[in-house]
Structure 1
């Protein structure tokens, strides 16, 4: 098979990571892999692993992006892929218009992946107008069924995103030099019970809830320290400043540490005693929660979205009804007083995700 994946850019994020993982699986299985995007820092890795990258500015939510329809159509005709796999709304619309100029019998099969709970409108509906629509969790299946009734049920295929258990092995511990460097950079973390809130700095991730938790916890457990692992881009700097002022006002500066964007997320998850998932909105999957459980760190999070599906399957004692802070504090207290064990994770594997996706490609290619 020859598969062309389309997404806005290749810098960072779950969509980008999933694209690289499927590209790697295609190459490993002897297929041809192409990716179309505006480029980014992951292009070098993508190409080193055997995928051809075609750079087109298909990333901007602007009518000017329609100027790329001709170039995209030309690339499709030149490469003649068996499958086009669109992973975002702007590339999906551009692909839609590009295919209109290609005779029906020459068009590739079209697959989409719904990675998010997009705003419900005609613009987002394009993600449900493919031959097969991949949903990354049961929550996404329900979102599509509820909001896009014109999407045939038999075209929706649930394929959970997955992680490589070898990259996040059960019981993993960071090397001694990692601990030495962390305690050098952040001496306040030594000999503490670490609560970790991973994720970029944005109003959606529940940082205000973390501050509220620490207000309660510090009174009874002064050895508990919260670590926020995630950076703030330029547009979110004002929000980060607002959080830090809030922390100072509540005299929590010595209880909460921001470590910024990190490439060693596995080490931070393994180092932590409990990982929190406090997003204000449902997440479609919850990859970081899965990574934490995979290394053996308990996760406590709100009962919604993909995180709830993961916790229900792997660590139900960490499930908290949404916004029930007293219950969350009770469960957290039990974890502080008695360390909890997490069983080895056998589900939600990267291998399953790749096998199921390639099997879907193959089944689609058999139909014409």
Structure 2
């Protein structure tokens, strides 16, 4: 079986990671894997793991991208994949027009993955016009059914994203060298009850709620300290400055630490006593919450989106009614006063995600 996955670029992010994971699973199972994108720093890993990469500029939301229809059609004809799997809207539209020029015999099966709660319009509808539409959570299934009723229910396949438990092993502890380095860089973190808010700096991640939470609890729990793990891109720098200013104004500079963008997220999740998920909008899956639970750190989060699905199955004690700050505060107080007993997570595995995806491909290819 030959599978061609299309996405804008291969730099970083959940879509990119999922593409590499499926590509590796295909190669390990003896299939052929081709990925088409504008390239990026993950290409080296992709090819090292056995896939072929074809570079095409299919990443721009611009009319100039229409020039890529013919090269993409030629690429499809040359490679003759059994399956094309589109993972983003621009590549999906380009594939739609590229396939129009092919005969029925030349046309591969078409699969899409809806990774996000896209804006509801004709442009986004292309993601629901494949033979099989993968939804990464039940929340995404509901989103498709509610907003795109023309997508037949039987064509929607819920396949949860997954993580590799060996990459986030239960009861994982950072090395002494790592701890020493961190405590040297951030001495305020030592001997504290650490609550962690991971994720990029953006108004959607709930940083204001975290600041309010720390302000409410600081006096009663002097050992409480919040860590914000995530950086700000250039256009979000003003918001980061605003947050830091607010922390200073509230006199919380010794209670909240910004550690910036980090590549050692596993260590930070394991070091923390509680991880928070406070996004102001529903997340389609909530991978970081799952990674925290996998290493044995309790997660407290709003009861919405993919995070709620993960918590309801793996750690219901962490579910809090949406935007109920008092309930959030009570839940955190309980965790400070009585540390949670955690158990290994055996749901949402990478192996299951890969198996279900490859099984879907094979079901389509079977005559």
**What TM-score, normalized by structure 1, do the two folds share?**
0.99
The offset of 1:254, in angstroms, is: 1.0
Alignment partner of 1:127 is 2:91 = no
Q: What is the DSSP-based 3-state SS (H/G/I as helix, E as strand, rest coil) of the residue aligned with 1:111?
A: strand
SS at match of 2:22: helix
Matches of 1:279 and 1:324, distance apart in 2 = 13
SS of 1:104's equivalent? coil
Match of 2:99 in 1: 99
Residue 260 of structure 1 aligns with which residue? Answer: 260
Shift of 1:341: 1.4
> 1:172 aligns to what?
172
Aligned residues: 367
Q: Alpha-carbon deviation of 1:120? A: 0.5
Quote the offset at 1:139 in angstroms: 0.4
Runs of 4+ in 1 over 4 A off after TM superposition: none
Secondary structure at the residue paired with 2:289?
helix
Deviations 1:35-76 (A, max 9, x none): 011111111111111110111111111111111111111111
Q: 1-side partners of 2:139 and 2:279: how far apart?
A: 15
Is 2:366 the counterpart of 1:363? no
Per the alignment, residue 235 of structure 2 pairs with: 235
1:56-71 mapped onto 2 (5 Å cutoff): 56-71=56-71
CA distance in 1, matches of 2:258, 2:54: 37
Once the two structures are TM-superposed, the CA of residue 220 in structure 1 deviates from its matched residue by: 0.7
Query: RMSD over aligned Cα, in angstroms?
Result: 0.7
Aligned to 1:24: 24
Following superposition, the deviation at residue 104 of structure 1 comes to: 1.8
**Cα drift, residue 247 of structure 1:** 1.0
Name the SS of the counterpart of 2:133 in structure 1: strand
Q: Distance in 1 between matches of 2:58 and 2:4?
A: 14
1:203 and 1:100 map into 2 onto residues whose CA distance is 41
> Displacement of 1:342 after TM fit?
1.5
**Aligned residue number for residue 140 of structure 1:** 140
Q: Deviations over 1:305-335 (max 9, x none)?
A: 0000000001001000000000110010010
TM superposition shift of 1:338? 1.1
Take 2:74 and 2:57, find their aligned partners in 1: how far apart are those partners? 14
Whole-angstrom CA distance in 2 between matches of 1:235 and 1:31? 42
Q: CA deviation at 1:222?
A: 1.5
Structure-2 separation of matches of 1:190 and 1:351:
37
Cα distance in structure 2, aligned partners of 1:259 and 1:41: 24
Partners of 1:222 and 1:43 in 2: CA distance:
47
State the distance in 1 between where 2:31 and 2:281 align: 38
Gaps of 5+ in 1: none
What is the deviation of 1:201?
Answer: 0.7
Partner Cα distance (2:102, 2:311) in 1: 45
Distance 1:342 1:88 in 2: 36
2:155 maps to 155
